[in-house]
Chains A and B, each alone.
Chain A
Amino acid sequence: MRNEDHADGPIASAAGLNFFYGEKQALVDINLDIARGLATALIGPSGCGKSTFLRCLNRMNDLVDGSRVEGTLTLDGEDINAPGVDVIDLRRRVGMVFQKPNPFPKSIYENVVYGLRIAGVRGRAELDAACEHSLRRSALWDEVKDRLRESAMGLSGGQHQRLCIARAVAVKPEIILMDEPCSALDPRSTVKIEDLISELKGDYTIVIVTHNMQQAARVSDRTAFFYEGKLMEEGETKKLFTTPVRKETEDYLTGRFG
């Protein structure tokens, strides 16, 4: 499913989205469109709700007892919280890369094709092709092509994260969510991942949560600033960083609080 097919309109859209963990309200009245084919960064101080919003997009918050969603959150125009929606399928269409790289203790090959196997794909040729394609897209192919059958545990931290990205890419999602993907990595690996994001964003929509403003500035096309569960400001990255509209945004960007 390529994004050129629906060239117009945002790929995902939140309207009046409120989110609760039990009694506590984590997101207040969020209205945000995620542009198709671009990289959108979600920034803000700790606990502002950016990760929560991210996890709403693939309904990973469902795993937390007592979580509750109000409002609308659509993917390709369909409300993903409507009753009868296949969450399993949603999660295939919306991929996720976690803060702490979490490859499975299997071989590199098996890690990459995992998503395809669980979707029922069995043909060797198909799996091999997908594996090579994903690893190439994640800039990992050359490093591991000779040891696909070895355990993924033998790779370095940065390679782990790229493997996770390859794994996510293999199921051909529409959106890739990234929750602070570089915060557990060293600077060299971080650079590699950032380059990767820039490369991927044409074919995939990327939503990245980061607490590193410079990273957001480098990597994203659009930025959304969250503060205390509310969406303060959203817009083209260059414009938001140089001429923020809200005072809170400016204070955050200049480091008055973080």
Chain B
Amino acid sequence: MARRRDATRSDGKAWIFLSWTSLFLILAMMGVLGLLICVNSFRALWPNRIEQVTLADGSVFLGFPVNADLSPEGLSRLQYKVANRELNSGADFRWVYARDIVSAARPPGAVLVNRAENGDFLGLPGPGADGSFEKPEQLRARLRSYRERWNAGAEPLRRKLASLGEDWQRVHLSALKAQYAMERAAAAPAKEESAKRLRAERERESAVKAESETLMGEFNRIKNDFSRETAVFATAEGETVVLPLSSIVDASWPNAMTVMERAGAFAVNVWRLLTHYPREANTEGGIYPALFGTVMLVFLMAVSAFPLGVAAGIYLREYAHDGILSRTARVAVNNLAGVPSIVYGIFGLGFFIYGMGGAIDDLIYPERVAAGINTYGGGGIIWSALTLGLLTLPVVIVATEEALATVPSEIRQGSLALGATRFQTLWRVILPMASPGILTGFILAMARAAGEVAPLMLTGAVKSAHNLPLDGNWPFVHLERKFMHLGFHIYDMGFQSPNVEASKPLVYLTALVLLILVFALNFSAITLRKRMRDKYAMKGF
């Protein structure tokens, strides 16, 4: 009898259930994380319906419902995004108590205008040029024609002005160089030559400036003409608002959209997210530069870490004598894999930026140093890439070593017995066999590094960079430029932004894009490993 009781007590069903719960808890937390990000991202991109809310005190406003919770006193309240920043003295969100809401309607004519400045605008259709209410198709047609005319008439000018600006920058730096050389020239003839060059550069500078000033004048005139074209709206409170067409990025009527139309708008929003630049201090617009910067960074990092890491792994495994030096090296590599990323960041700052960068600047651009301009002596994408490369090196080295170890020694011996040199054996037999392991380890390391932000904060990631490190201006690749990065963007928007509430949707979206990127890298690593294993591995043993 006693034995029976023991059995039931000690088969631990309850405890087993509890440990199952732990597993479930982990998955649930992951699910919550994923769900939060996906749902919030979706809501940020899917066109939401505009509500017209009437309160008990008679006031009316237009807004998107974004949040609902309990106030500290326990009353139910709702948060609306009311936009119209400049009309609400800077606040584009407001809270209202549920009990104060008399009615909430969805007027089909409510319009959402994305603007180039001041964020979104919510309004109702206003009278058109002929006095009657402007219909959506009319406004859309007008906007379309405006865009076409702008692109034909003003846009080329704007682009020319931008490129003139770049030219001026370049000439200015050349002038600086000539001036510096002249000041330091010891002999008279050298001084004379530098002075001549300086004069030439200064002339070019003024020529460019003059040209750009004339163009600017013309551009401003055209802009003025264009800015006369306006659209009139009314706010829910009854105010009339005139918006110049030049400030309107897009206008939509979400309450009147069908599901198909909304899906279309959703797709357009996704497109804009990935290809447009941010606006309004990173609270509007897209994340294109951050996406570009992240991809380019990962690429540069791969290029710098992969050859070196694999070479070091091969060296340790195949060429180094098994003495105290190689053993210390292996211990060092293993331990360095566990060092916090911020330590790499601070090393990157001290060695790459202030050390190497400073030396490069002193050597190649002394005139800029004298003027207080940092080229390589400050943060830049190359330094960030090298720092992250250093971070991934230990992982790549260990992966290489372990992959090389999986190659059976008979294979190696077989190749050598046929008269192959060590290098031929390595290149033709061993590396192909080890490549799944090496590549997988490498891609996983890259995926991990793609998500690292801490070292980038010190080595060149910035909140806003209009120029990309790769563009159409000579020398096309600008490794010294600062860059934007998805992870850093999240940190900056969520914590350094003056308007965190408005940035939230973009933060979720950026997180989603980053997650997709990281998981794509992981997934490709795993598929690659599988594919290469099938091709090269030993089967049938």
Identify which of B419, B433, B537, B540 contacts A91 (C-beta below 8 A).
B419
Q: Please determine whether B421 and A60 come into contact, CB atoms closer than 8 angstroms.
A: no
Question: Can you offer 28 A-B residue contacts whose CB atoms are under 8 A?
Answer: A60-B413, A60-B416, A65-B322, A89-B419, A91-B416, A91-B417, A91-B419, A92-B418, A98-B410, A100-B410, A102-B408, A104-B415, A105-B432, A105-B537, A105-B538, A115-B419, A117-B428, A118-B419, A118-B420, A118-B424, A119-B419, A153-B538, A153-B540, A164-B414, A167-B418, A168-B418, A171-B418, A171-B419
Closest 9 CB pairs of A and B: A92-B419, A102-B410, A96-B417, A115-B418, A102-B414, A91-B419, A118-B420, A153-B539, A118-B424
Q: Please determine whether B419 and A104 come into contact, CB atoms closer than 8 angstroms.
A: no
| 0 or 1 for each of B400-422: is its CB under 8 Å from A? (1 = yes) | 00000000101101111111110
Interface size bracket, B side: 20 to 34
In the assembled complex, B44 has its CB within 8 A of some CB on chain A: no
Residues of B within 8 A of A60 (CB): 413, 416-417
* CB contact list, A109-148 vs B, under 8 A: 114-115, 117-119
The answer for the CA separation of A87 and B308 in the assembled complex, in Å, is 30
Chain B residues near A (Cβ < 8 Å): 322, 408, 410-411, 413-421, 424, 428-429, 432-433, 535-540
Q: Please determine whether B418 and A114 come into contact, CB atoms closer than 8 angstroms.
A: yes
Residues of B within 8 A of A115 (CB): 418-420
B410 to chain A, nearest CB (A): 4
Residues of A within 8 A of B418 (CB): 91-92, 95, 114-115, 118, 167-168, 171
With known contacts A118-B428, A153-B540, A104–B414 Cβ distance under 8 A: yes
* CB contact list, A25-40 vs B, under 8 A: none
Residue of A nearest to B430 (CB): A104
B132 to chain A, nearest CB (A): 77
In the assembled complex, A7 has its CB within 8 A of some CB on chain B: no
The answer for the CA separation of A249 and B537 in the assembled complex, in Å, is 44
Q: Please determine whether A105 and B417 come into contact, CB atoms closer than 8 angstroms.
A: no
The answer for the CA separation of A96 and B429 in the assembled complex, in Å, is 17
The answer for the CA separation of A105 and B419 in the assembled complex, in Å, is 18
* CB contact list, A53-80 vs B, under 8 A: 58, 60, 63, 65
Residues of B within 8 A of A117 (CB): 428
Residue of B nearest to A167 (CB): B418
Identify which of A95, A100, A154 contacts B417 (C-beta below 8 A).
A95
20 extra A-B contacts, CB within 8 A, seeds A88-B421, A96-B417: A60-B417, A65-B322, A91-B418, A91-B419, A98-B410, A98-B414, A100-B410, A102-B410, A102-B414, A104-B411, A105-B432, A105-B535, A105-B537, A114-B420, A118-B420, A118-B428, A119-B419, A151-B539, A154-B540, A168-B417
Residues of A within 8 A of B540 (CB): 153-154
Residue of A nearest to B417 (CB): A96
A100 to chain B, nearest CB (A): 5
The answer for the CA separation of A167 and B411 in the assembled complex, in Å, is 13
A119 to chain B, nearest CB (A): 7
The answer for the CA separation of A115 and B424 in the assembled complex, in Å, is 11
B326 to chain A, nearest CB (A): 13
The answer for the CA separation of A253 and B112 in the assembled complex, in Å, is 100
Identify which of B411, B420, B535, B537 contacts A102 (C-beta below 8 A).
B411
From DSSP, what is the main secondary structure of chain A's interface residues? helix
The answer for the CA separation of A92 and B420 in the assembled complex, in Å, is 8
Q: Please determine whether A105 and B420 come into contact, CB atoms closer than 8 angstroms.
A: no
Q: Please determine whether A88 and B420 come into contact, CB atoms closer than 8 angstroms.
A: yes
The answer for the CA separation of A89 and B417 in the assembled complex, in Å, is 10
Residues of A within 8 A of B410 (CB): 98, 100, 102
The answer for the CA separation of A100 and B412 in the assembled complex, in Å, is 13
Instruction: Select the residue from A88, A100, A118 with max chain B CB neighbours within 10 A.
Output: A118
Residues of B within 8 A of A95 (CB): 417-418
Residue of B nearest to A105 (CB): B536
Residues of B within 8 A of A114 (CB): 415, 418, 420, 428
The answer for the CA separation of A99 and B60 in the assembled complex, in Å, is 90
A-B contact number at CB 8 A: 69
Instruction: Select the residue from A63, A168, A171 with max chain B CB neighbours within 10 A.
Output: A63
A58 to chain B, nearest CB (A): 6
Q: Please determine whether A104 and B417 come into contact, CB atoms closer than 8 angstroms.
A: no
Residues of B within 8 A of A151 (CB): 539
Residues of B within 8 A of A65 (CB): 322
A113 to chain B, nearest CB (A): 11
Residues of A within 8 A of B419 (CB): 88-92, 115, 118-119, 171
With known contacts A92-B419, A118-B419, A63–B413 Cβ distance under 8 A: yes
Residues of B within 8 A of A98 (CB): 410, 413-414, 417
| 0 or 1 for each of A163-184: is its CB under 8 Å from B? (1 = yes) | 0100110010000000000000
Instruction: Select the residue from B414, B415, B417, B424 with max chain A CB neighbours within 10 A.
Output: B417
The answer for the CA separation of A164 and B413 in the assembled complex, in Å, is 12
The answer for the CA separation of A89 and B418 in the assembled complex, in Å, is 9
Residues of A within 8 A of B415 (CB): 104, 114
Q: Please determine whether B417 and A58 come into contact, CB atoms closer than 8 angstroms.
A: yes
Residues of B within 8 A of A100 (CB): 410
A69 to chain B, nearest CB (A): 17
The answer for the CA separation of A153 and B418 in the assembled complex, in Å, is 19
Residues of B within 8 A of A164 (CB): 414
Residues of B within 8 A of A88 (CB): 419-421
The answer for the CA separation of A9 and B36 in the assembled complex, in Å, is 85
The answer for the CA separation of A89 and B421 in the assembled complex, in Å, is 10
Residues of B within 8 A of A171 (CB): 418-419
The answer for the CA separation of A114 and B432 in the assembled complex, in Å, is 14
Q: Please determine whether B414 and A63 come into contact, CB atoms closer than 8 angstroms.
A: no
The answer for the CA separation of A91 and B536 in the assembled complex, in Å, is 26
B361 to chain A, nearest CB (A): 49
The answer for the CA separation of A164 and B433 in the assembled complex, in Å, is 18
Residues of A within 8 A of B433 (CB): 105
Residue of B nearest to A117 (CB): B428
The answer for the CA separation of A91 and B418 in the assembled complex, in Å, is 6
A75 to chain B, nearest CB (A): 14
The answer for the CA separation of A168 and B419 in the assembled complex, in Å, is 10
